[in-house]
Structure 1
Amino acid sequence: MIVRRTIDKDELKELPKTVFPGRIYVIQSEAETERAVAYLQSRSVIGIDSETRPSFTKGQSHKVALLQISSEECCFLFRLNMTGLTQPLVDLLENPAVIKVGLSLKDDFMMLHKRAPFTQQSCIELQDYVRQFGIQDKSLQKIYAILFKEKISKSQRLSNWEADVLSDG
Structure 2
Amino acid sequence: MTQIIPKHLIKDMPSIAYTGKTIIVTNAEDAEIASEELMQEDIFGFDTETKPVFVSGKSNSIAIIQIASSEKVYIFHVKRFPIKGKFKEFLESPKYLKVGVAIRDDVKKIYKYHKVQTEASFDLTVLSKERGILEAGLRTLTARVFGRKISKRQQLSNWDNFPLSESQIIYAATDAWLCRELYFELQNCKP
Question: TM-score, normalising length from structure 2?
Answer: 0.76
For residue 88 of structure 2, the aligned residue among 87, 90, 94 is 90
- Report the counterpart of residue 168 of structure 2 in structure 1: 162
Larger strand proportion, structure 1 or 2? 1
1:1-169 correspondence to structure 2 within 5 Å: 3-155=1-153, 160-162=166-168
Secondary structure of the equivalent of 1:129?
helix
- Report the counterpart of residue 161 of structure 2 in structure 1: none
After TM superposition, the runs of 4+ consecutive aligned structure 1 residues lying more than 4 A away are: 154-159
Q: Residue 22 of structure 1 contacts residue 72 of structure 1 at CA under 8 Å; is this kept in 2?
A: no
For structure 1, the 5+ residue unaligned runs are: none
**Superimposed CA distance per residue, residues 42-92 of structure 1 (whole angstroms, 9 cap, x where no aligned partner):** 112101111111223455432111111111321111111101222322211
RMSD: 2.4
Question: TM-score, normalising length from structure 1?
Answer: 0.85
Q: Comparing 59-68 with 6-15, which one deviates more in the overlay?
A: 59-68
Equivalent AA in structure 2 for residue 98 of structure 1? Y
Cα offset for 1:154? 4.5
Instruction: From the superposition, tell whether residues 159 and 119 of structure 1 become closer, same or farther in structure 2 (CA, over 3 Å).
Output: closer
Percentage of matched positions with identical amino acids: 27
Q: How many residues align?
A: 162
For structure 2, the 5+ residue unaligned runs are: 156-163, 173-191
Q: Residue 85 of structure 1 contacts residue 115 of structure 1 at CA under 8 Å; is this kept in 2?
A: no
Equivalent AA in structure 1 for residue 144 of structure 2? I
Secondary structure of the equivalent of 1:124?
strand
Cα offset for 1:146? 0.6
Q: Residue 84 of structure 1 contacts residue 115 of structure 1 at CA under 8 Å; is this kept in 2?
A: no
